[in-house]
């Protein structure tokens, strides 16, 4: 199998698993939203503790893992390319001890800092908030327990990826999500509707479910490791290089890799943290005290779940690209590396752009189908949807920079974008309320992507001319699709009320079908799809005469 095909296959496996987990993560919200909404009050308000807990939790996870999973992937891939398989095995054995220790440290830090995080989150007008500092402190401390398990799970996945074995990671991610969702739904239902417990306890059950999911993921990887171990042992036995590194040298190199990885993995969590600490305070400054937590839940949970679906492809590329680009760059094969970069960016945009524009056009029926008719949620989703394109691009281009050993530049770009987000967030929220947080994120991401493009051009010698032409065509056909979808939506809403779930679902399905037909026709007819789908596009033309 050629390296390009192997890369696409690995990316496909990871992308499918991430897509499945994200779809499950969105679909489970429908019953979870109903369960939590039936507990008295609206679901957005009842879910505030759950949402407030997850942002600091994600920060703690990124710090606890210290970027080692992806760094391990890069490290193992590098030495495997040199035939030094014993070094990868040495890293594998020692990293579990290191990750367990950092997991404990991460847990203790998050547990201890919970009161301060809760106070900063709720803002000055705590009396106007739906929840108290004690409530948010408790929920953060509940989820802090999960930090103990995640580093071990993440490191094991990184080792598998270093061996360019993406299947175990893919299956473990799906199993982790399934176990987590089952525990959330069953647990929260029992608390509220069988034992008639408090909403806060139901939120606690929903957060601790992440630990149950992590354990399921670890067991899955253990199963695959037992199957793959004989093959890996043969690779280690074939190592005739005589290369060896001390633990000090090993972890010095790992740390040099891991700092950029942890900064990149922290990027979106840091954006969310900026929103978490400034959203309510900025609204305080303009005298908007009511329903601050309600709007934050829409921003950070309900709309975020939908917007992140198109980013699944980016996440798959970001994880699987690093070993391949690291290898081709280390071997000096720039033409092959350029092909990998061009293929990755093209396929990414070919799928992400129409998906994001489609969500933008169908914000109203989408929000109604997944949650309920809510003009506030639909308005924020409309503005949030195109940000998925920028998120996807940053994830992939940041991984490319790490693959070509530009870790330090990656750190500066990410931290610069977070500082820009921080500077813009309060004035934009004061001007546009919650949508201002979306706009500041978009501006920060755009600046970071431009910087990454410049770095790739300078250091990877990558010419963007052909790629930008593809981008322009994709956006043109995407906007044509969006106009067609919007016209179809306006026509259908003359007869079907979008406020009703069933009618919203009918509108959604019809519009998605029309949009897919328009975009598919435009890209296949003009042969743009051939650049990304290969023989598939030609086979479609052969079957459908008017597309030739």
Q: State the average pLDDT for the chain.
A: 85
pLDDT at 67: 61
Q: Which residue has the higher pLDDT, 436 or 83?
A: 436
Q: Are residues 477 and 453 in the same domain?
A: no
Q: What are the DSSP calls for 505-536, one per residue?
A: HHHHHHHHHHHHHHHHHHHHHTT-THHHHTHH
Regarding whether 445 and 526 lie in a shared domain, the answer is: no
Residues 527 and 457 placed together within one structural domain of the fold: no
Percent of the chain with pLDDT over 90: 41
Band (pLDDT 50/70/90 cuts) for residue 541 is confident
One domain for residues 421 and 496? no
Q: Are residues 455 and 547 in the same domain?
A: no
Sequence-distant (6+) residues with CB within 8 A of 31 are 185
Whether residues 433 and 538 fall in one domain: no
Return the pLDDT at 12.
65
**Among 436, 463, 490, where does a domain finish?**
463
What is the model's pTM?
0.78
**What's the distance, CA 226 to chain centroid?**
29
Q: How confident is the model at residue 3, as a pLDDT?
A: 54
* pLDDT of 366 over the 80 cut: yes
Say how far apart CA 347 and CA 532 lie, in whole Å.
Answer: 6
Q: Which of 2-11, 96-105, 291-300, 394-403 is predicted with the least confidence, judged by mean pLDDT?
A: 2-11
256-265, 329-338, 479-488 — most confident range: 479-488
C-alpha torsion angle, residues 25, 27, 33, 38 (rounded to 10): -140
State the total domains in the chain: 2
The Cα 20–Cα 353 span in angstroms is 19
What is the distance, to the nearest Å, from the Cα of residue 16 to the centroid of all Cα atoms in its chain?
A: 13
The torsion of the CA quartet 422, 381, 263, 347, rounded to 10 degrees, works out to -140
Each residue's pLDDT tens digit, 80-139:
878 888 887 787 777 778 788 888 988 999 899 999 999 888 865 554 456 888 999 999
Q: How far apart are CA 418 and CA 278, in angstroms?
A: 13
**What was the pLDDT predicted at 316?**
63
Mean pLDDT of 281-292: 87
> What pLDDT does 149 receive?
87
Q: What is the pLDDT of residue 295?
A: 93
Neighbours of 107 (CB within 10 A): 21
Count of all residues that appear for the chain in the document: 548
Cα–Cα nearest to 245, from 257, 236, 253, 235: 253
CA distances from 58 to 62, 240, 293, 355, 360 (A): 6, 42, 19, 26, 27
Q: What is the DSSP string of 451-493?
A: HHHHHHHHHS----HHHHHHHHHHHHHHHHHHHHHHHHHHHHT
> pLDDT tens, 323-332?
677 778 877 8
Instruction: Report the half-sphere exposure of 84 (CA within 13 A, side-chain side).
Output: 15
Residue 390 binned pLDDT confidence (cut-offs 50, 70, 90): very high
**Structural domain ending residue among the three candidates 416, 440, 463:** 463
Domain that holds residue 352: 3-463
Which residue in the block uniquely carries the two structure tokens 């580093």?
Answer: 151
Q: Are residues 486 and 453 in the same domain?
A: no
- Structure confidence by residue, pLDDT tens digits, 504-529: 999 999 999 999 999 999 998 888 88
Tokens of 348: 């990414």
Compute CA distances 303 → 363, 454, 471, whole Å. 9, 32, 26
Q: Are residues 194 and 278 in the same domain?
A: yes
Query: What would the mean pLDDT of 151-164 be, rounded to a whole number?
Result: 79
Q: Is 38 helix (H, G, I), strand (E, B) or coil?
A: coil
Quote the pLDDT of residue 339. Answer: 86
Residues 130, 147 within the same domain: yes
Strands (E), 197-246: none
Burial classification of residue 458, based on how many CB atoms lie within 10 Å of its CB (0-12 exposed, 13-18 middle, 19 or more buried): exposed
Q: Looking at residue 123, what is its pLDDT?
A: 67
Residues 437-449, mean pLDDT to the nearest whole number: 97
Distance CA 363, CA 381 (A): 6
Round to whole Å and give the CA distance between 59 and 265.
9
- Residue 256 sits in the same domain as residue 374: yes
Tell me, yes or no, whether 353 and 485 share the same domain: no
Residues 300-343 have pLDDT tens digits of 888 998 998 888 766 666 556 666 777 788 778 888 888 888 88
Q: Specify whether 489 is located in the same domain as 435.
A: no
Number of other CB atoms surrounding residue 286 within 10 Å? 11
Looking at residue 493, its pLDDT comes to 95
Q: Which of 446, 463, 480 is the last residue of a domain?
A: 463
């Amino acid at each position: 199998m050629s390296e390009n095909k192997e890369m696409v296959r690995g990316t496909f496996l990871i992308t499918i698993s991430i897509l499945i987990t994200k779809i499950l993560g969105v679909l489970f919200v429908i019953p979870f939203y109903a369960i939590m909404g039936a507990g008295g009050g609206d679901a957005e308000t009842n879910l505030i503790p759950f949402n407030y807990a997850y942002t600091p939790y994600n920060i703690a996870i990124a710090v606890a893992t210290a970027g080692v999973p992806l760094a391990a992937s890069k490290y193992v891939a590098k030495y495997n390319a040199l035939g030094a398989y014993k070094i990868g095995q040495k890293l594998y054995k020692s990293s579990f001890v290191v990750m367990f220790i950092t997991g404990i440290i991460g847990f203790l830090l998050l547990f201890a800092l919970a009161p301060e995080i809760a106070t900063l989150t709720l803002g000055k007008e705590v009396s106007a908030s739906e929840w108290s500092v004690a409530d948010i402190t408790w929920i953060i401390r509940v989820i802090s327990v999960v930090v103990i398990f995640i580093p071990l799970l993440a490191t094991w996945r990184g080792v598998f990826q270093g061996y360019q074995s993406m299947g175990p990671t893919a299956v473990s991610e799906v199993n982790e999500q399934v176990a987590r969702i089952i525990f959330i739904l069953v647990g929260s239902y029992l608390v509220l509707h069988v034992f008639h417990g408090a909403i806060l306890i139901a939120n606690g059950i929903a957060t601790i479910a992440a630990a149950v999911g992590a354990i399921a993921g670890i067991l899955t990887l253990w199963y695959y490791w037992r199957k793959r171990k004989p093959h890996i042992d043969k690779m280690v036995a074939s190592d005739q290089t005589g290369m060896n590194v001390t633990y000090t040298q090993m972890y010095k190199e790992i740390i040099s890799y891991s700092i950029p990885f942890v900064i990149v993995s922290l990027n979106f969590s840091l954006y969310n943290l900026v929103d978490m600490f400034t959203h309510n305070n900025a609204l305080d400054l303009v005298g908007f005290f009511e329903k601050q937590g309600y709007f934050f839940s829409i921003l950070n949970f309900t709309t975020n779940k939908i917007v992140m679906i198109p980013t699944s492809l980016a996440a798959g590329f970001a994880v699987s690209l690093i070993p391949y680009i690291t290898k081709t760059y280390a071997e000096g094969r720039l033409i092959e590396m350029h092909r990998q970069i061009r293929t990755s960016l093209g396929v990414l945009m070919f799928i992400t752009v129409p998906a994001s524009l489609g969500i933008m056009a169908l914000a109203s029926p989408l929000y109604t189908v997944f949650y309920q008719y809510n003009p506030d949620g639909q308005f924020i989703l409309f503005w949030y949807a195109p940000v998925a394109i920028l998120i996807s691009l940053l994830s992939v281009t940041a991984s490319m920079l790490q693959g070509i050993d530009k870790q330090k530049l990656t750190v500066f770009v990410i931290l610069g974008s977070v500082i820009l987000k921080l500077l813009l967030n309060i004035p934009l929220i004061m001007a546009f309320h919650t949508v201002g947080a979306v706009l500041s994120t978009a501006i920060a991401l755009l600046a970071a992507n431009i910087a990454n493009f410049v770095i790739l051009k300078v250091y990877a010698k990558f010419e963007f001319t052909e790629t930008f032409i593809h981008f322009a065509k994709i956006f043109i056909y995407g906007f044509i699709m969006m106009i067609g979808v919007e016209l179809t939506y306006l026509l259908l809403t003359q007869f079907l009320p979008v406020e009703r779930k069933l009618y919203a679902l009918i509108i959604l399905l019809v519009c998605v079908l029309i949009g897919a037909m328009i975009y598919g026709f435009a890209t296949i007819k003009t042969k743009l799809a051939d650049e990304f789908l290969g023989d598939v596009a030609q086979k479609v033309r052969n079957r459908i005469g008017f597309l030739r």
